[in-house]
Structure 1
Amino acid sequence: MITVHLRYEIDSSKLADFEEYGRRWIRLVNRLGGAHHGYFLPSEGDSDEAFALFTFPSLADYEKYRSAAAVDPECIEAYRFATETNCIRRYERRFLSPMFE
């Protein structure tokens, strides 16, 4: 199992656009074989930082998702939306192995 942790630096004046972007990707990740655990938006503290977590059964399954997303019309549209709105300034991606009791 592999969990992808995304840290976003967002434009806090475009939070509604980022929320729309997140709603799209939750559905898309789930449709393309992952389990999305949600977006975590600013509340208290830093107003320009957000996070997302989603899991795939394996790194190979994640790579299949990345290949499928690159040609999927809805995914391409979601990327375009983020680019046009400039709601994301930058992001970092980490791969984690979850540990459970």
Structure 2
Amino acid sequence: MPITCFIRYQIDPFQREAFRRYAEAWGRIIPRCGGNLLGYFLPHEGSNHIAWGLIGFDDMAAYERYRAVLRADPEGRANFELAQAQRFILREERSWLEDVAGTVHRPRQVAP
């Protein structure tokens, strides 16, 4: 059963660019470690302190394999340490969601 880890970050709005660099690093790290990165998202309008990250996995076993690889990844460890040192993430919440078949990765269709 495909699942998505939905991460909600409360960030320091004055350190938005630090979070951007953190997210961009995950763009390299997550796929290399076995996750399907759906994306990281910064606030654009409205609330200026909530960001999101979405990572897909084939199942929980795939997630556990990813975690083991991630723990051994030097760039992954460095990225976690950067966030702790710079404190641009104030709070992080994770939710696990079951993907609804036929709705994930649907390409945009142009109206005739």
TM-score normalised over the length of structure 2:
0.86
Deviation readout 1:36-75 (Å, 9 max, x if unpaired): 0111111111100000111011111101111221222111
- Whole-angstrom CA distance in 2 between matches of 1:26 and 1:54: 10
Q: What are the ranges of 5 or more consecutive residues in structure 2 without an aligned counterpart?
A: 103-112
What residue is the counterpart of 1:92 in the other structure?
93
What residue is the counterpart of 1:62 in the other structure?
63
What's the C-alpha RMSD, in Å, of the aligned pairs? Answer: 0.9
- Whole-angstrom CA distance in 1 between matches of 2:3 and 2:40: 17
- Whole-angstrom CA distance in 1 between matches of 2:53 and 2:4: 10
What residue is the counterpart of 1:42 in the other structure?
43
TM-score normalised over the length of structure 1:
0.95
Identity of aligned residues (%): 37
- Whole-angstrom CA distance in 1 between matches of 2:82 and 2:42: 18
SS of equivalent residue, structure 2 residue 45: coil
Deviation readout 1:1-37 (Å, 9 max, x if unpaired): 1111000000000000000000111211111111101
- Whole-angstrom CA distance in 2 between matches of 1:33 and 1:73: 15
- Whole-angstrom CA distance in 2 between matches of 1:33 and 1:72: 12
